[in-house]
Amino acid sequence: MRVAAAASARRSLPAGAGTVVLDVSGRRVVLSSRDAEQLRDAATDEAGRSSTARDLSLLLARAAAGGTLALRRVEASTLERLARELGLADAAAQLA
């Protein structure tokens, strides 16, 4: 099941999706679809070692459909770390 979830999470975000909107502790954070896709892929890569990363990969895949994705504190921290590791300084700063 995890393999299927990871494979479906790796699909590209829809071409029309320009942004992904997150709610981080009441703050609105807007990520480009490209940044969200990179973060989703990084979370998918860590999914076997971290349930939080697994949840993030699935949530980011669903967020591409629209709406606002509310993150718990631990998810936001993990996403910030992944953004820093990927060199996505703007995304990391918004998530901090």
Q: 78 is written with which tokens?
A: 């993990």
Residue 56: per-residue pLDDT:
93
- Supply the pLDDT for residue 54: 94
* pLDDT for the residue 62: 87
Q: Is the dihedral of CA 2, 7, 8, 13 positive or negative?
A: positive
pLDDT at 17: 52
Low-confidence ranges of the chain (pLDDT < 50): 1-16
Distance between CA 83 and CA 88 in Å, rounded? 5
Q: Where along the chain do its domains lie?
A: 2-8+34-95
Q: Which residues contact 30 (CB under 8 A, 6 or more apart)?
A: 19, 20, 21, 22, 94
